[in-house]
Protein backbone atom coordinates (compact mmCIF):
# COMPACT_ATOMS: atom_id res chain seq x y z
CA UNK A 1 0.00 0.00 0.00
CA UNK A 2 2.75 2.47 0.93
CA UNK A 3 4.88 1.77 -2.15
CA UNK A 4 1.80 1.96 -4.39
CA UNK A 5 0.89 5.34 -2.90
CA UNK A 6 4.44 6.64 -3.44
CA UNK A 7 4.41 5.40 -7.04
CA UNK A 8 1.08 6.98 -8.00
CA UNK A 9 1.51 10.21 -6.00
CA UNK A 10 3.01 12.19 -8.89
CA UNK A 11 -0.10 11.60 -11.03
CA UNK A 12 -2.56 13.05 -8.50
CA UNK A 13 -3.60 16.64 -7.96
CA UNK A 14 -3.31 18.15 -4.47
CA UNK A 15 -6.72 17.15 -3.16
CA UNK A 16 -6.64 13.70 -4.77
CA UNK A 17 -3.27 13.09 -3.13
CA UNK A 18 -4.62 14.03 0.30
CA UNK A 19 -7.67 11.78 -0.03
CA UNK A 20 -5.51 8.91 -1.27
CA UNK A 21 -3.08 9.45 1.59
CA UNK A 22 -5.87 9.08 4.16
CA UNK A 23 -6.06 5.39 3.19
CA UNK A 24 -2.54 4.76 4.53
CA UNK A 25 -2.12 7.62 7.01
CA UNK A 26 -3.17 5.88 10.22
CA UNK A 27 -0.57 3.10 10.04
CA UNK A 28 2.27 5.03 8.40
CA UNK A 29 4.50 5.12 11.49
CA UNK A 30 4.55 1.30 11.70
CA UNK A 31 6.39 1.18 8.35
CA UNK A 32 10.09 1.33 7.46
CA UNK A 33 11.90 4.62 8.03
CA UNK A 34 12.73 5.08 4.34
CA UNK A 35 9.04 4.81 3.44
CA UNK A 36 7.99 7.17 6.23
CA UNK A 37 10.47 9.85 5.24
CA UNK A 38 9.51 9.55 1.57
CA UNK A 39 5.81 9.93 2.31
CA UNK A 40 6.47 12.92 4.58
CA UNK A 41 8.49 14.49 1.80
CA UNK A 42 5.66 13.93 -0.71
CA UNK A 43 2.98 15.37 1.58
CA UNK A 44 5.10 18.38 2.57
CA UNK A 45 5.96 19.18 -1.04
CA UNK A 46 2.31 18.81 -2.03
CA UNK A 47 0.98 21.44 0.37
CA UNK A 48 3.87 23.81 -0.36
CA UNK A 49 3.29 23.68 -4.12
CA UNK A 50 -0.46 24.06 -3.61
CA UNK A 51 0.11 27.14 -1.46
CA UNK A 52 2.47 28.77 -3.98
CA UNK A 53 -0.11 28.25 -6.74
CA UNK A 54 -3.35 29.07 -4.91
CA UNK A 55 -2.70 31.17 -1.80
CA UNK A 56 -2.09 34.90 -2.24
CA UNK A 57 -0.21 35.12 1.05
CA UNK A 58 2.43 32.54 0.09
CA UNK A 59 2.66 33.88 -3.46
CA UNK A 60 3.58 37.28 -2.03
CA UNK A 61 6.68 36.13 -0.14
CA UNK A 62 9.92 35.02 -1.77
CA UNK A 63 10.97 32.56 0.91
CA UNK A 64 8.97 30.80 3.61
CA UNK A 65 10.72 31.24 6.92
CA UNK A 66 8.74 30.88 10.15
CA UNK A 67 5.11 31.99 9.78
CA UNK A 68 3.35 33.44 12.83
CA UNK A 69 -0.29 34.33 13.56
CA UNK A 70 0.37 38.05 13.16
CA UNK A 71 1.24 37.42 9.51
CA UNK A 72 -2.08 35.68 8.82
CA UNK A 73 -4.53 38.31 9.98
CA UNK A 74 -5.70 39.24 6.47
CA UNK A 75 -7.90 36.26 5.60
CA UNK A 76 -8.56 37.59 2.08
CA UNK A 77 -4.90 36.92 1.28
CA UNK A 78 -4.56 33.69 3.25
CA UNK A 79 -7.80 31.73 2.71
CA UNK A 80 -8.07 29.81 -0.57
CA UNK A 81 -11.41 30.26 -2.32
CA UNK A 82 -13.53 27.43 -3.67
CA UNK A 83 -12.66 24.81 -1.05
CA UNK A 84 -15.38 23.45 1.21
CA UNK A 85 -14.14 24.20 4.69
CA UNK A 86 -15.05 24.29 8.35
CA UNK A 87 -14.37 27.45 10.36
CA UNK A 88 -12.30 27.03 13.50
CA UNK A 89 -10.81 29.29 16.14
CA UNK A 90 -8.35 28.98 18.98
CA UNK A 91 -9.98 28.99 22.40
CA UNK A 92 -8.32 32.19 23.58
CA UNK A 93 -9.10 33.85 26.91
CA UNK A 94 -11.42 36.62 27.99
CA UNK A 95 -8.60 39.09 27.30
CA UNK A 96 -6.92 37.34 24.39
CA UNK A 97 -7.56 37.57 20.67
CA UNK A 98 -9.23 34.57 19.07
CA UNK A 99 -7.46 33.29 15.97
CA UNK A 100 -9.76 32.27 13.12
CA UNK A 101 -8.77 29.72 10.51
CA UNK A 102 -10.29 26.93 8.41
CA UNK A 103 -9.89 23.17 7.99
CA UNK A 104 -10.74 20.98 5.04
CA UNK A 105 -14.26 19.76 5.82
CA UNK A 106 -13.89 16.57 3.80
CA UNK A 107 -11.05 15.28 5.97
CA UNK A 108 -11.84 16.74 9.42
CA UNK A 109 -13.89 13.90 10.92
CA UNK A 110 -11.64 11.18 9.58
CA UNK A 111 -8.51 12.81 10.99
CA UNK A 112 -10.07 13.62 14.36
CA UNK A 113 -12.08 10.42 14.84
CA UNK A 114 -10.14 7.72 13.03
CA UNK A 115 -6.53 8.90 13.16
CA UNK A 116 -6.21 11.08 16.27
CA UNK A 117 -8.67 9.55 18.75
CA UNK A 118 -8.91 6.26 16.84
CA UNK A 119 -5.19 5.56 17.17
CA UNK A 120 -5.57 5.82 20.94
CA UNK A 121 -8.59 3.48 20.95
CA UNK A 122 -6.57 0.92 19.00
CA UNK A 123 -3.43 1.33 21.11
CA UNK A 124 -5.24 0.67 24.37
CA UNK A 125 -7.59 -1.95 22.88
CA UNK A 126 -10.78 -0.15 23.87
CA UNK A 127 -13.86 -2.27 23.17
CA UNK A 128 -16.24 -1.61 20.26
CA UNK A 129 -18.99 0.16 22.24
CA UNK A 130 -17.16 1.99 25.01
CA UNK A 131 -18.73 3.83 27.91
CA UNK A 132 -17.15 7.27 28.23
CA UNK A 133 -17.25 9.83 31.01
CA UNK A 134 -16.60 13.15 29.28
CA UNK A 135 -15.37 15.82 31.71
CA UNK A 136 -14.10 18.44 29.30
CA UNK A 137 -15.36 21.70 30.72
CA UNK A 138 -13.70 23.49 27.77
CA UNK A 139 -15.96 21.66 25.32
CA UNK A 140 -19.38 21.07 26.84
CA UNK A 141 -21.62 19.16 24.46
CA UNK A 142 -24.59 21.26 23.21
CA UNK A 143 -27.03 18.62 24.49
CA UNK A 144 -25.58 18.83 27.99
CA UNK A 145 -28.18 21.39 29.07
CA UNK A 146 -30.44 19.17 31.13
CA UNK A 147 -31.33 20.11 34.72
CA UNK A 148 -29.99 16.73 35.81
CA UNK A 149 -26.37 16.55 36.93
CA UNK A 150 -25.36 14.29 34.03
CA UNK A 151 -26.78 13.56 30.61
CA UNK A 152 -26.24 10.30 28.74
CA UNK A 153 -25.82 10.40 24.98
CA UNK A 154 -25.92 7.45 22.60
CA UNK A 155 -23.12 7.79 20.04
CA UNK A 156 -22.82 11.58 19.73
CA UNK A 157 -21.58 12.70 16.32
CA UNK A 158 -18.78 14.88 17.68
CA UNK A 159 -15.48 12.91 17.52
CA UNK A 160 -14.28 14.92 20.49
CA UNK A 161 -17.03 13.79 22.88
CA UNK A 162 -17.21 10.22 21.55
CA UNK A 163 -13.40 9.85 21.62
CA UNK A 164 -13.66 8.81 17.97
CA UNK A 165 -15.82 5.77 18.75
CA UNK A 166 -18.71 5.73 16.27
CA UNK A 167 -20.74 3.53 18.63
CA UNK A 168 -20.43 4.74 22.22
CA UNK A 169 -22.36 5.65 25.36
CA UNK A 170 -21.21 9.02 26.66
CA UNK A 171 -21.91 10.44 30.11
CA UNK A 172 -21.41 14.21 30.24
CA UNK A 173 -21.59 16.51 33.23
CA UNK A 174 -23.96 19.34 32.35
CA UNK A 175 -21.78 22.18 33.64
CA UNK A 176 -18.17 23.04 34.27
CA UNK A 177 -17.07 23.15 37.93
CA UNK A 178 -17.88 26.64 39.20
CA UNK A 179 -14.90 28.19 41.00
CA UNK A 180 -17.27 30.56 42.80
CA UNK A 181 -19.13 27.68 44.43
CA UNK A 182 -18.23 24.76 46.64
CA UNK A 183 -15.71 22.89 44.47
CA UNK A 184 -15.51 19.98 46.90
CA UNK A 185 -19.23 19.23 46.61
CA UNK A 186 -18.93 19.22 42.83
CA UNK A 187 -16.08 16.73 42.82
CA UNK A 188 -17.81 14.62 45.44
CA UNK A 189 -20.84 14.52 43.15
CA UNK A 190 -18.64 13.24 40.32
CA UNK A 191 -17.00 10.62 42.53
CA UNK A 192 -20.42 9.49 43.81
CA UNK A 193 -21.60 9.17 40.20
CA UNK A 194 -18.82 6.66 39.50
CA UNK A 195 -19.61 4.38 42.47
CA UNK A 196 -21.64 1.79 40.57
CA UNK A 197 -20.01 2.32 37.16
CA UNK A 198 -16.81 1.23 35.43
CA UNK A 199 -15.96 3.47 32.49
CA UNK A 200 -13.84 2.43 29.54
CA UNK A 201 -12.60 6.00 29.15
CA UNK A 202 -12.59 9.19 31.17
CA UNK A 203 -11.86 12.07 28.80
CA UNK A 204 -10.68 15.23 30.52
CA UNK A 205 -7.78 17.68 30.88
CA UNK A 206 -4.82 18.33 33.17
CA UNK A 207 -6.32 20.85 35.64
CA UNK A 208 -9.36 18.63 36.20
CA UNK A 209 -7.13 15.59 36.80
CA UNK A 210 -5.12 17.55 39.36
CA UNK A 211 -8.25 18.38 41.38
CA UNK A 212 -9.61 14.86 40.87
CA UNK A 213 -6.45 13.40 42.43
CA UNK A 214 -6.75 15.74 45.40
CA UNK A 215 -10.28 14.54 46.19
CA UNK A 216 -9.45 10.90 45.53
CA UNK A 217 -6.80 11.24 48.23
CA UNK A 218 -9.12 13.12 50.57
CA UNK A 219 -11.90 10.54 50.29
CA UNK A 220 -9.48 7.60 50.19
CA UNK A 221 -10.85 6.30 46.87
CA UNK A 222 -9.62 2.78 46.19
CA UNK A 223 -12.01 1.40 43.59
CA UNK A 224 -11.18 1.06 39.89
CA UNK A 225 -13.05 3.79 37.99
CA UNK A 226 -11.85 3.46 34.39
CA UNK A 227 -9.64 1.59 31.97
CA UNK A 228 -8.18 4.63 30.19
CA UNK A 229 -7.74 8.16 31.51
CA UNK A 230 -7.46 10.24 28.35
CA UNK A 231 -5.94 13.71 28.77
CA UNK A 232 -6.21 16.45 26.14
CA UNK A 233 -6.58 20.26 25.75
CA UNK A 234 -4.24 21.14 28.65
CA UNK A 235 -1.08 19.60 30.06
CA UNK A 236 -1.35 16.96 32.76
CA UNK A 237 0.98 16.45 35.72
CA UNK A 238 2.70 13.07 35.38
CA UNK A 239 2.71 12.62 39.15
CA UNK A 240 -1.11 12.87 39.14
CA UNK A 241 -1.74 10.08 36.65
CA UNK A 242 0.93 7.86 38.20
CA UNK A 243 -0.83 8.19 41.56
CA UNK A 244 -4.14 7.12 39.97
CA UNK A 245 -2.49 4.22 38.18
CA UNK A 246 -0.52 3.02 41.21
CA UNK A 247 -3.72 3.05 43.28
CA UNK A 248 -5.50 1.12 40.50
CA UNK A 249 -8.10 3.89 40.19
CA UNK A 250 -7.22 3.86 36.48
CA UNK A 251 -5.59 1.08 34.49
CA UNK A 252 -3.97 3.17 31.73
CA UNK A 253 -3.47 6.78 30.76
CA UNK A 254 -2.82 8.66 27.54
CA UNK A 255 -1.65 12.23 27.09
CA UNK A 256 -2.51 13.57 23.65
CA UNK A 257 -3.14 16.72 21.65
CA UNK A 258 -4.21 17.74 18.16
CA UNK A 259 -3.50 21.37 17.23
CA UNK A 260 -5.68 22.09 14.23
CA UNK A 261 -3.88 25.37 13.56
CA UNK A 262 -0.71 23.91 12.10
CA UNK A 263 -1.52 20.23 12.55
CA UNK A 264 1.03 19.39 15.27
CA UNK A 265 -0.22 16.30 17.14
CA UNK A 266 1.11 13.81 19.66
CA UNK A 267 0.01 10.99 21.96
CA UNK A 268 1.54 8.59 24.46
CA UNK A 269 1.42 4.88 23.70
CA UNK A 270 0.98 2.06 26.25
CA UNK A 271 4.74 2.22 26.92
CA UNK A 272 4.37 5.90 27.94
CA UNK A 273 6.46 7.07 24.99
CA UNK A 274 5.49 10.39 23.40
CA UNK A 275 4.77 9.99 19.69
CA UNK A 276 4.78 13.09 17.54
CA UNK A 277 2.30 12.23 14.78
CA UNK A 278 4.49 12.71 11.71
CA UNK A 279 1.74 11.07 9.70
CA UNK A 280 -0.40 14.23 10.20
CA UNK A 281 2.16 17.03 9.95
CA UNK A 282 5.87 17.66 9.48
CA UNK A 283 7.26 19.24 12.66
CA UNK A 284 10.60 20.44 13.93
CA UNK A 285 11.90 22.65 16.73
CA UNK A 286 14.20 25.56 15.96
CA UNK A 287 17.10 26.99 17.95
CA UNK A 288 14.64 28.97 20.09
CA UNK A 289 12.64 25.85 20.96
CA UNK A 290 9.65 26.87 18.87
CA UNK A 291 7.49 23.99 17.60
CA UNK A 292 7.11 24.64 13.87
CA UNK A 293 4.78 22.59 11.70
CA UNK A 294 3.57 22.07 8.15
CA UNK A 295 0.06 20.61 7.98
CA UNK A 296 -0.42 18.18 5.08
CA UNK A 297 -4.19 18.74 4.94
CA UNK A 298 -4.57 22.53 5.18
CA UNK A 299 -5.75 23.30 1.64
CA UNK A 300 -8.28 25.98 2.63
CA UNK A 301 -5.68 28.02 4.58
CA UNK A 302 -2.20 26.53 4.26
CA UNK A 303 -0.04 26.22 7.38
CA UNK A 304 3.60 26.00 6.23
CA UNK A 305 6.54 26.41 8.62
CA UNK A 306 3.99 27.72 11.10
CA UNK A 307 4.61 28.49 14.78
CA UNK A 308 1.40 28.33 16.81
CA UNK A 309 3.03 29.53 20.04
CA UNK A 310 4.05 26.14 21.49
CA UNK A 311 7.58 25.19 22.50
CA UNK A 312 9.10 21.73 22.20
CA UNK A 313 12.31 19.78 21.77
CA UNK A 314 12.18 17.49 18.72
CA UNK A 315 15.04 15.26 17.63
CA UNK A 316 15.68 14.39 13.98
CA UNK A 317 16.59 10.72 14.40
CA UNK A 318 14.01 7.94 14.45
CA UNK A 319 13.84 5.06 16.91
CA UNK A 320 11.51 2.05 16.95
CA UNK A 321 9.19 1.96 19.98
CA UNK A 322 8.08 -1.27 21.65
CA UNK A 323 4.57 -0.41 20.44
CA UNK A 324 5.85 -0.91 16.87
CA UNK A 325 5.86 2.71 15.71
CA UNK A 326 8.78 4.81 14.61
CA UNK A 327 9.21 7.91 16.74
CA UNK A 328 11.52 10.85 17.28
CA UNK A 329 12.34 11.90 20.83
CA UNK A 330 9.85 14.64 21.58
CA UNK A 331 9.28 16.76 24.65
CA UNK A 332 6.51 19.31 24.90
CA UNK A 333 8.12 22.19 26.78
CA UNK A 334 5.65 25.02 27.07
CA UNK A 335 2.15 25.64 25.74
CA UNK A 336 1.21 28.78 23.89
CA UNK A 337 0.09 31.82 25.85
CA UNK A 338 -3.55 32.33 24.86
CA UNK A 339 -3.55 35.85 26.34
CA UNK A 340 -1.37 37.08 23.47
pLDDT tens-place string over residues 174-190: 665 565 667 888 889 89
Supply the mean pLDDT for the chain. 90
User: Cα dist. 271→30, 61, 254, 268, 323 in Å?
Assistant: 15, 43, 10, 8, 7
Query: Whole-angstrom distance between the N-terminal and C-terminal Cα of the chain?
Result: 44
Q: Which helix (H) or strand (E) holds 127?
A: none
Q: What's the confidence (pLDDT) of residue 116?
A: 97
pLDDT tens-place string over residues 215-224: 999 999 999 9
Q: Which helix (H) or strand (E) holds 312?
A: strand 306-320
User: Cα dist. 330→100, 278, 288, 317, 318 in Å?
Assistant: 28, 11, 15, 11, 11
pLDDT band at 94 (very low <50, low <70, confident <90, very high): very low
Measured on CA atoms in the order 172, 173, 175, 179, is the torsion positive or negative? negative
Render 186-252 in DSSP notation, one character per residue: HHHHHHHHTTT--EEEEEE-HHHHHHHHHHHHHTT--S--EEEEEE-SSPPPHHHHHHHHHTTSEEE
Which of the 8 DSSP states describes residue 17?
Answer: H
CA–centroid distance for 138 within its chain: 14
Is the full-model pTM beyond 0.95? no
Those residues whose C-beta lies under 8 Å from the C-beta of residue 61, and which sit 6 or more positions away, are: none
pLDDT tens-place string over residues 20-55: 999 999 999 999 999 999 999 999 999 999 999 999
Q: What's the confidence (pLDDT) of residue 145?
A: 57
pLDDT tens-place string over residues 262-321: 999 999 999 999 999 999 999 999 999 999 999 999 999 999 999 999 999 999 999 999
Q: Can you tell me the distance from the alpha carbon of 81 to that of 261, in angstroms, rounded to the nearest whole number?
A: 18
Q: What's the confidence (pLDDT) of residue 142?
A: 62
Mean pLDDT of 56-73: 92
Q: What's the confidence (pLDDT) of residue 183?
A: 80
Burial of 52 (0-12, 13-18, 19+ CB in 10 A): middle
Q: What's the confidence (pLDDT) of residue 97?
A: 67
Q: Can you tell me the distance from the alpha carbon of 283 to that of 260, in angstroms, rounded to the nearest whole number?
A: 13
pLDDT tens-place string over residues 113-168: 999 999 999 999 999 899 999 988 666 666 655 556 788 999 888 888 899 998 99
Q: Can you tell me the distance from the alpha carbon of 328 to that of 257, in angstroms, rounded to the nearest whole number?
A: 16
Amino acid sequence: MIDYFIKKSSSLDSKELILSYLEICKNLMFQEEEQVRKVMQIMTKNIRLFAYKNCNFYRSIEKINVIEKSMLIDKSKWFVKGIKSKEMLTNGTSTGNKFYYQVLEETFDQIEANIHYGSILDEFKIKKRPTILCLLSQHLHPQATSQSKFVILDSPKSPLHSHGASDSIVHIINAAPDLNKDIESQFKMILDYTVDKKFDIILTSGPFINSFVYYCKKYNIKRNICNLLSNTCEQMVLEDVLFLKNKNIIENYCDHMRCWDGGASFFTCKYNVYHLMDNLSNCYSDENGRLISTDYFSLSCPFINYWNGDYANIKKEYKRCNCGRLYRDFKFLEPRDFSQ
